[in-house]
């Protein structure tokens, strides 16, 4: 396999599940959006199912709330959470290579 190259397809942002955010990440995202941390937390986070952290909220379809669709782009790319920055090298989900354009390219 070759080195992974992100194709900016946004499919990792469409995968349902928790996107954990730390306190520092909440601070950075809130500042980037020009809002208070309290407002950011109220509007854009939820408690994770294990009740151990905060996660970004999702749309009704399970997509990240900060994913713009056309073209796919992250509205908070400059300050996106570490979990997002670390995909797929440090975390991924089962079958990610089938969903991710860069992952499919990586297999070829």
Residue 91 within a domain? yes
Asked if the structure places residue 31 within a domain, the reply is yes
Note the pTM of the prediction, 2 decimals: 0.86
pLDDT at residue number 107: 57
Is the pLDDT at 79 greater than 60? The verdict is yes
How many structural domains comprise the chain?
Answer: 1
Do residues 69 and 10 lie in contact, with contact meaning Cβ atoms separated by under 8 Å? Answer: yes
3 domain residue, yes or no:
no
Flag whether 5 is in a domain.
Answer: no
Q: Which domain holds residue 18?
A: 11-107
State yes or no: pLDDT of 2 exceeds 60: no
The confidence band for 17, taking pLDDT boundaries of 50, 70 and 90, is: confident
Residue 86 forms part of a structural domain:
yes
Please, what is the average pLDDT of the chain?
90
Using CB atoms within 10 Å of the CB of residue 97, give its burial: 0 to 12 exposed, 13 to 18 middle, 19+ buried: middle
Task: Note whether residue 53 is domain-resident.
Answer: yes
| pLDDT bucket at 101, cuts 50 / 70 / 90 | confident
pLDDT of residue 104: 66
Is residue 87 in some structural domain?
yes
């Amino acid at each position: 396999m070759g080195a992974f190259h992100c194709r900016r397809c946004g499919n990792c942002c469409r995968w349902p599940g928790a996107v954990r955010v730390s306190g520092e990440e909440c601070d950075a995202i809130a500042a980037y959006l020009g809002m208070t941390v309290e407002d950011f937390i109220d509007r854009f986070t939820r408690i994770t199912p294990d009740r151990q952290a905060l996660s970004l909220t999702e749309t009704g379809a399970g997509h990240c709330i900060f994913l713009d669709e056309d073209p796919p782009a992250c509205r908070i790319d400059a300050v996106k959470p570490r979990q997002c920055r670390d995909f797929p090298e440090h975390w991924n989900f089962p079958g990610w290579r089938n969903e991710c354009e860069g992952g499919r390219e990586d297999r070829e």
